Structure 1
Amino acid sequence: MSTFNFQITDLPASLHPLLHTIQPASTADGVAVLLFLLSALGYITRGRIWDKSDPNYRVYFERPQVLDGGSHSTATATRNIAQRLEEGNYQCVVFWGSQSGTSERLAEGLSRECASHFGINALAADLSDYDAESIGQISKEKFAIFILSTYGEGDPSDNTAGLWDWVKRVKDDNSKLHELRYLALGLGNSNYKYYNRVLDVVADALDDAGATALIPRQKADDANGGTEEDFQSWKDNVFALFRGMGYEEKSVEYQPSINIQFTAPEETKTHPHHVSVHHQKSSTCSAIVPLAIKSSRELFTAGDRNCVHMELDLGHHEVGYKTGDHIGIWPCNPEEEIRRLLEALGLEHRRQELFTVETLDETSKPKVPSPTTLETAFRHHLEICGPVSRKTFLDLAPFAPTPEAKAMLLGFGKDRERYEQLTSATHITLARLLHLASPEKPWTVLPLSFVLESLLSLQPRYYSISSSSVIAPRRITITALVVNRTIPGTSDSTIHGLTSNYLLSATKLPSNASIPTPSFQHTNSESVEGGRVFAHVRKSKFKLPITSSTPLILISAGTGFAPFRAFLAERAKLHAIGKPVGKMLLFFGCRSADSDFIYQEEMEKMKESLGEKLEIITAFSREGDRKVYVQDRVAAQSSKVLEMLDAGANMYICGKASMAREVDMKIEEAASEAKGLGEAEVKAWTDALKKRGKWRADVWG
């Protein structure tokens, strides 16, 4: 029989009496006593004996740009914005609520212009960095500016969550904000039903609580790419306000907000390849991970359009997903555009040299890691394929390499009509603009800091996951329409969908488009396809009901069917194992049955499997003499839709925002007629369904 050899003196004095009362009678009893004592020891010492601190623990909570050498190396000193304004001697704060980075860029630019043009010390602030309640403590001598994005179906950006909750409490509590002065601009898209809803909700709450709007709120509309022009118009009004408040405006030369320093050539041996310096793992978004491409196939080719199905392997990564979630794909820029930009800047010979970025303005955040190279920055971190704003034309003019280039830039920059004619006829990226203005002479005097400040940070593009986490928990499938739009009457003005072409290139599938697919640099792996893509998973509220017997109404067009493929597959699996499954009414629309009917065979098999539980209604917009759209089919079947909704069905709409808006109108019109409801009553009916999660939409512009 084994015995215990540990000494009572090895234990804390507080355990000595306890030890003497316990006399083990056998080996099993002895083991039990030892385990009990160790547990007690852990409780009393709170783990101090063996709990060694992880020296890298803090890294888990630092923003990536901090790790990359950015200036934000310390946490915000206070989460009270009123206190922060006083400590920093700021006269105003420019809050931004941003999902894609546009609001952030505009806010940072506006704060710099406040200082340079009017001497107003302005703080550009991420709303999530401060407690929203402290906004009400801002003194009347200062003022707040809000630039707020609305995305999806009237949803606030992730970093606006605190403000969103606070304004609701302000309204409910009837709080008073009599000292708060503010200005507000909303960024949205009028194709969406709830256009700029976030701006209206926030501004209405502030007004109701007694805050003073210094100028009327204004809305920027990105439906036709008008965000930049609308922002400039609003900024003109803001600057007019400043002049009226007694601030003297002065003209200033370009002042960089970052300092760029190239390293010696002998030091340029290696450099990091980061995907993003801004993305943060959060409760809604996973970390960015490289996912191997396990398989891919073409769903259809029609004219210049391709649609691909891609399967990604989650492998060993600590990333999971649930049916209905989104996957954010992080693309890289095409090699042709990288080369074009480097040539225009006269920096082709320095593409592999390392440089560091130091922010000179504490309100700015670096867009690229440090150190990095121009090639890496232009490939992985900056939106070099995006269109150029009219303001950029004017800002570039002082650095023009020739008088002709300067005159050209000023001519378009000062004339909105000429600018819109040019950009509607030609796809103008920064590189293409530089070549257009000065085709022979490179822009060697253009500061690289200006280039990095002018370009947006590269952002992920989101796709609805078309696989079920119940059936394939470690595999994610994407259904991507490859987008290429050629401007009529031009030879070099094809607008390639960046991420869709990046995915097509990664699959190695041939493109059916008449214009070649851009070339991208891909990261190899040991997968079947030999490649991988960087991605993260974002949680969605677009979820199946917990009870499988709940009826479903699924309304989609084109690749909007993607999440419904997962929904139906999951329901079919449950039905196959004998679980009760509710009736499903699926509306699906595309151009024609012969050209772009995606997953047609799968739908037919699911119909065979589910039988009367699944009814499929199709709409073809380019088949025969009459164009029939999804909303037309919904209108024709409105009595069935209303009957199912009244019986407790969940309704889901996925596709373009314009389609979803039309579907909403058809259902509301039908409800008004069938139920005898007025406009206000219909709105209350739809709002009640949406609040209970019975009416959900996952749409895009």
Structure 2
Amino acid sequence: MSSPTLLVLYGSQTGTAQDTAERIGRQAQRRRVGVRVHALDTYNVANLISESLVVFVCSTTGQGDPPDNMKNFWRFLFRKSLPTASLCRLEYAVLGLGDSSYAKFNFVAKKLHKRLQQLGASALLPVGLADDQHDLGPDAVIDPWLVLFWQKTVSLYPLPAGTTPLDDQDPLPPRYVFHFVDDITEKLVEQPLPPDSHAPPSSAHPFPARVLSNQRVTDPSHFQDVRLIEFDITGSNIQYVAGDVMMMRPFNSPEDVAQFCQLLRLDPDRYFTLAPTDGSTAPVPARLPRPCAVRYLVERYLDVAAVPRRSFFELLATLATDELERGKLVELSSPQGQDDLHSYCTRPRRTALEVLADFPHTTAELSVNYLLDLFPEIQPRSFSISSSLLAHPKRIQILVAVVKYKTRLHKARKGLCSSWLASLDPAQGEVSVPLWVKKGGLKFPQDPDSPVIMVGPGTGVAPFRAAIQERIAQGKTGNVLFFGCRSESKDFYCRTEWEEKVQAGHMTLFTAFSRDQEDKIYVQHRIKEQAKLLWDLVGNRNAFFYIAGNAKQMPAAVCDALKEVFQQGGGVTESQAQEMLNGMEKAGRFQSETWS
């Protein structure tokens, strides 16, 4: 049987799914299998009926929801009108990328696998459930899953007689060729075509929002720098409600841009156009101006400050000519070398830029044409909006914890987006951030008589600040907030605002300052202390209950505390309390938004 063209479709809000999909694409090329790799939002799902062989790589967001670039595909695939045998010609495999610290671990992958079977498609192998929490990361599942996938595929579709796979160490051609051009003015590059003025800002056409203020809300002596940042969205037609999310793509630091250009001997002020190489089906990235400055590419597009994935080392190994460096790169990209890769790169959070500096001979010989194969695109970051348009017209605010920590590497590790945002100082001149807004996972009740209980320790309080501002502006009462932090004097965000609202009778506040006494006190302890109040609100007044914050231990501890409230107030058993919580979640009266 002749081999069909393999279609690899990926859906994710991070770069991991794209990186994995492209890795499968390169493996297909080495096996001389025709391959197409597409994001799910660039593929016409109606064509799925005519496909023969498809791999789906997908992640899960929120409470078991598909990622944004998968939603249109998801809606189409779950139409009740689709015939049960509509995909009977399709052989497929599903690889899920997830995090087992979340309750709905790889939910989208599992549900997609089941739905494809309902429509008559045949699974080549069980669904792969990669887990970020594994010591070796998702590759611990991806590697053996891909070995099994290719065994099945090659047995079904053997290569024609006389055809042999390419060697793993032979370089594949790059996806694009750079054509450098001269006599281009900066104006042509930096001014993209304006979007439709009636369309809301989007990933393709963000709104350049001016930074109005960038205020530190933790004490200067506190180890954690947290910022309340306000943007001006006048003229943007951006609309949002409490629970919505602000999106942006950060820029690389000037220092990293300069070092990258120095290592690769690139002139940051030169301009280029991109063209796909012969046989490449990769579309030219629409987000890059045409022509584009090297500085723009490195500053705003290539994720040079990220911890590189294994595919980065795989590609570098094929391009290296120095024997010592090539041997080390081959070892780090091999299945047997994953412990070493974890120790060298993942654990200390070594960046791709630092890896290039560690392999100087390979870096010096690196062709510019491989840049977009080596480095993923900078992915959008999301922040819960912490303000209400009703309270702050034409403004949008976010609460940002600046990520900075030490590893065994000499230089402190920094979060790309939070560090970039913290560096924006409107007092030094006008600065703007290209941003857009999307619907969030938290939905607040419209009924003015429904009380709302919100548990938001740390920056988890951000969406609840928006909700409280909005509900007060709408005249809604029954606003109860549980806030937790380390110290009342160091990181009690928005303290004055909360105290004024409590004084005015607009909200009830319970605080937990974990380090202000010998025994640590957390929000779950305060919930147990307020069992009588909470049972009255939930059991008698149909209150809505919300959790936002770090996904590690807090959400589970809060859920356990809430179940104790049910047992104590309602006189129910532990299993009945769990059923009550499940019922609230199903009815939308229990919602959470957590992150790892």
* TM superposition score normalised by structure 2: 0.87
Aligned equivalent of 2:479: 584
Does residue 451 (structure 1) correspond to residue 362 (structure 2)? The answer is no
Contact 2:484 2:511 in 1 (8 A): yes
Displacement after TM superposition at 1:626 (Å): 1.8
Please state if 1:331 is matched with 2:250.
Answer: yes
| 1:657 equivalenced with 2:533 (yes/no) | no
Match of 1:648 in 2: 542
Tell me, yes or no, if structure 1 residue 481 matches structure 2 residue 398: no
CA distance in 2, matches of 1:479, 1:573: 21
Residue 298 of structure 1 and its aligned partner are, at CA, apart by 1.3
**Letter of the 1:309 counterpart:** L
Residue 302 to residue 277, structure 1, CA distance change in 2 (3 Å)? farther
Q: What CA distance in whole angstroms lies between the structure 1 residues aligned with 2:595 and 2:40?
A: 24
Q: How many pairs were matched up? A: 577
Alpha-carbon contact 1:399-1:443 (below 8 Å) kept: no
Q: Which moved more, 1:252-261 or 1:499-508?
A: 252-261
Q: Which residue of 2 aligns with 1:537?
A: 437
Equivalence for 2:345: 423
Query: Distance between the aligned counterparts of 1:269 and 1:396, measured in 2?
Result: 32
- SS of the equivalent of 2:424 reads helix
Matched, 1:309 2:228: yes
Deviation of 1:666 after TM superposition, in Å, equals: 3.7
Structure 2 residue corresponding to 1:396, chosen from 310, 316, 322? 316
State the 1:121 CA deviation.
1.8
Structure 2 CA distance for aligned equivalents of residues 652 and 138 of structure 1: 44
The equivalent residue for 2:189 is 272
Alpha-carbon offset, residue 553 of structure 1: 0.5
Pairing partner for 2:500 from 605, 610, 613: 605
What is the identity, as a one-letter code, of the residue corresponding to 1:125?
H
Cα 1:127–1:639 shift into 2, 3 Å: farther
Structure 1's 358 and 277: CA in aligned 2 closer, same or farther, altered over 3 A?
A: farther
Q: Which has the larger radius of gyration?
A: 1
CA distance in 2, matches of 1:173, 1:621: 56
* Equivalent pair of 1:276/1:381 in contact (CA under 8 Å): no
In the other structure, the counterpart of 1:297 is 215
> Residues 216 and 531 from structure 1, CA distance in 2 versus in 1: closer, same or farther, beyond 3 angstroms?
same
How far residue 676 of structure 1 moved from its aligned partner, in angstroms, is 3.8
Say which SS state the counterpart of residue 504 (structure 2) adopts: helix
| CA pair 530-266 structure 1, distance change in 2 beyond 3 A | closer
Contact 1:256 1:449 in 2 (8 A): no
Q: Which residue of 2 aligns with 1:125?
A: 38
Q: Is the 8 A contact 1:341 1:430 kept in 2?
A: no
Per-residue deviation at 1:559? 0.9
Task: Report the CA distance between 1:150 and its aligned residue.
Answer: 0.7
Q: Matched residue of 1:602: which SS? A: helix
Among 507, 512, 519, the residue aligned to 1:614: 507
Structure 1 counterpart of 2:270, one-letter code: E
Cα deviation per residue 1:531-553 (whole Å; 9 max; x = unaligned)?
Answer: 22111111224243223332010
Residue type at the aligned position of 1:458 = I
Q: Matched residues in 2 for 1:264 and 1:177: separation?
A: 48
AA aligned to 1:627 is K
Partner Cα separation in structure 2 for residue 330 and residue 276 of structure 1: 18
2-structure distance, mates of 1:670, 1:202: 37
Would the aligned equivalents of 1:409 and 1:437 in 2 still touch at CA under 8 Å? no
Alignment-derived partner of residue 102 in structure 1: 16
**Aligned AA for 2:330?**
L
Partner residue, 2:416: 498
1:507 partnered with 2:425: yes
Provide Cα deviations, 1:367-421, integer angstroms capped at 9, x if missing partner. 4443212211010112111011233223212333532322332333331111111
Supply the AA of the counterpart residue of 2:158. Y
Q: Mapping of 1:176-191 within 5 angstroms? A: 177-191=87-101
Q: Judging changes above 3 Å, is the alpha-carbon distance between structure 1 residues 217 and 683 closer, same or farther for their aligned structure 2 residues?
A: farther
Matched, 1:213 2:123: yes
Task: Look up the match of 2:271.
Answer: 354
Distance 1:670 1:175 in 2: 49
Does residue 562 in structure 1 map to residue 462 in structure 2?
yes
The structural deviation recorded for 1:635 is 4.1
Amino acid at match of 2:481: L
Change (3 A) 1:607 1:182: same
Greater Cα offset, 559-568 or 296-305:
296-305
Q: CA–CA distance in 1 between the matches of 2:187 and 2:321? A: 33
For 2:525, the equivalent position in structure 1 comes to 632
Q: What is aligned with 2:354?
A: 432
State the alpha-carbon separation in 1 of the partners of residues 590 and 193 from structure 2.
35
Q: Is the partner of 2:363 in helix, strand or coil?
A: coil
Deviation at 1:175, TM superposition (A): 6.1
Aligned mate of 2:148, from 237, 240, 249? 237
SS of 1:470 mapped into structure 2: coil
Match of 1:515 in 2: none
| Aligned mates of 1:330, 1:291 — CA distance in 2 | 13
Q: CA RMSD in A?
A: 3.3
Shift of 1:215: 1.1
Secondary structure of 2:92's counterpart equals strand
Distance 1:263 1:391, change over 3 A: closer
Give the 3 Å change call, closer, same or farther, for CA 276–433 of structure 1 in structure 2.
Answer: farther
d(CA) in 1 for partners of 2:371, 2:44: 34
Provide the rounded CA distance (Å) in 1 between the counterparts of 2:346 and 2:199: 39
Q: 2:248 touches 2:434 (CA, 8 Å); kept in 1?
A: yes
> What residue is the counterpart of 2:448 in the other structure?
548
Q: SS state of the match for residue 242, structure 2?
A: coil
Residues 280-317 of structure 1 deviation map (CA, whole Å, 9 limit, x = unaligned): 99889574011112223210134442111111111222
> What displacement does 1:152 show?
2.0
Structure 1 residues 28-77: Cα deviation after superposition (integer angstroms, max 9, x where no partner): xxxxxxxxxxxxxxxxxxxxxxxxxxxxxxxxxxxxxxxxxxxxxxxxxx
Q: What residue is the counterpart of 1:250 in the other structure?
A: 165
Give the match for residue 697 of structure 1: 592
Contact 1:585/1:614 (<8 A) preserved: yes
Taking the aligned partners of 1:373 and 1:615, their CA distance within structure 2 comes to 53
1:62 aligned partner: none
Following the alignment from structure 2 to structure 1, what is the Cα–Cα distance between the partners of residues 379 and 555? 25
Separation of aligned partners in 2, 1:180 and 1:424: 37
CA–CA distance in 1 between the matches of 2:192 and 2:243? 25
Corresponding position of 2:283: 365
Aligned-partner Cα distance in 1 for 2:10–2:402: 32
Change (3 A) 1:272 1:635: farther
Asked whether the 8 Å contact 2:64–2:104 carries over to 1, the reply is: yes
Q: CA deviation at 1:569?
A: 2.3
1:322 matched to 2:235? The reply is no
Please give the alpha-carbon distance, in whole angstroms, between the structure 2 residues aligned to 1:412 and 1:134: 39
The answer to whether the 8 Å contact 2:311/2:333 transfers is yes
Question: What is the Cα deviation at residue 169 of structure 1?
Answer: 4.3
**Partners of 1:260 and 1:355 within 8 A in 2:** no
- In 2, Cα distance between equivalents of 1:277 and 1:194: 40
- Partner residue in 2 for 1:7: none
| Bigger mean CA deviation after superposition, 302-311 or 587-596 | 302-311
Q: Distance in 1 between matches of 2:306 and 2:342?
A: 15
* Separation of aligned partners in 2, 1:664 and 1:281: 43
In the superposition, relative to structure 1, how do residues 122 and 472 fare at CA in structure 2: closer, same or farther (>3 Å)?
same
> Partner amino acid for 1:568?
I
Q: Distance in 1 between matches of 2:546 and 2:71?
A: 24
Shift of the 268–582 alpha-carbon distance from structure 1 to 2, 3 Å rule, reads closer
- Give the aligned partner of residue 595 of structure 1: 490
User: Aligned pair in 2 of structure 1 residues 187, 171: CA closer, same or farther (>3 Å)?
Assistant: farther
Residue among 198, 214, 239 paired with 2:108: 198
